[in-house]
């Protein structure tokens, strides 16, 4: 028995299918991502979805891997910026990425392979954050015993993302302004005022 041919990973059609799946996932949740809806959103025939992805799980994995790679690249730019703590805080507070990640986490509750992929990617992401923060925080003369880089990484990303989840999903804002003010006061002590972005 020969393996069924699958479309190339560099195909424009494959990229359009992933873009369509991402839009559907952000707008309607992972349950909205079906082969027919992805095809319709991309403006192609439904059979093309399974030409490029044998199963919908393969599509979800490809979509997650693409986003994770983009996230790692973006994080690298953030950590190399002149104000890396401000940049990391702002990066972690972006609603689009947080909402997409939460949909993948919900999907991972039902798909072991996707859960394993998310865990491995999150560990790589955190590991790079901690490595960079070790140097950054040492440059600010912060004692790593009092301010462990791994704890700073967890606190910054967790607080930022949780605020997004509460605001976007629950439309809750109690305590948000005060929490942001405290975090940003600490960032200001270390890196000065946030530099204006171009």
Residues whose CB is less than 8 angstroms from the CB of residue 37 and which lie 6 or more positions away in sequence, other chains included: 24
Greater pLDDT, 9 or 75: 75
Residue 18's pLDDT is what?
Answer: 98
**For 190, how many CA atoms within 13 A lie in the half-sphere containing its CB?**
21
Residue 7's pLDDT is what?
Answer: 66
Interval 74-90: pLDDT, tens:
999 999 999 999 999 99
Residue 104: how many other CB atoms lie within 10 Å:
22
pLDDT at 2 over 50: no
Residue 196's pLDDT is what?
Answer: 87
Residue 63's pLDDT is what?
Answer: 98
What is the rounded average pLDDT of the residues 172-194?
97
pLDDT at 177 over 90: yes
Residue 1's pLDDT is what?
Answer: 45
pLDDT at 167 over 70: yes
pLDDT at 163 over 50: yes
DSSP state of 2: P
Residue 197's pLDDT is what?
Answer: 74
Interval 82-121: pLDDT, tens:
999 999 999 999 999 999 999 999 999 999 999 999 999 9
pLDDT at 152 over 70: yes
In whole numbers, what is the pLDDT of the chain averaged over residues? Answer: 94
Q: Which residues of 59-84 are buried (b: 16+ CB within 10 A; e: fewer)?
A: bbbbbbeebbeebeeebeebbeeebb
Q: Are 114 and 64 in contact (CB under 8 A)?
A: yes
């Amino acid at each position: 028995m020969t393996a069924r041919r699958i479309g190339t990973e560099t195909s424009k059609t494959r990229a359009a299918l992933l873009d369509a799946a991402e839009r559907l996932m952000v707008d309607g949740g992972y349950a909205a991502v079906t082969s027919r809806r992805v095809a319709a959103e991309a403006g192609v025939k439904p059979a093309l979805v399974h030409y490029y992805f044998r199963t919908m799980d393969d599509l979800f994995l490809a979509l997650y891997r693409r986003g994770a790679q983009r996230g790692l690249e973006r994080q690298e730019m953030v950590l190399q910026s002149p104000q890396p703590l401000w940049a990391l805080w702002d990066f972690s507070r972006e609603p689009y990425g947080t909402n997409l990640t939460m949909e993948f986490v919900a999907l991972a509750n039902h798909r072991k392979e996707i859960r394993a992929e998310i865990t491995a990617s999150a560990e790589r992401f955190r590991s790079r954050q901690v490595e960079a923060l070790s140097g950054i925080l040492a440059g600010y003369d912060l004692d790593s015993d009092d301010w462990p880089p791994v704890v700073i990484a967890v606190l910054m990303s967790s607080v930022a993302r949780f605020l997004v989840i509460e605001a976007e999903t629950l439309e809750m804002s109690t305590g948000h302004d005060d929490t942001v003010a405290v975090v940003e006061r600490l960032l200001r002590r270390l890196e000065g005022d946030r530099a204006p972005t171009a």
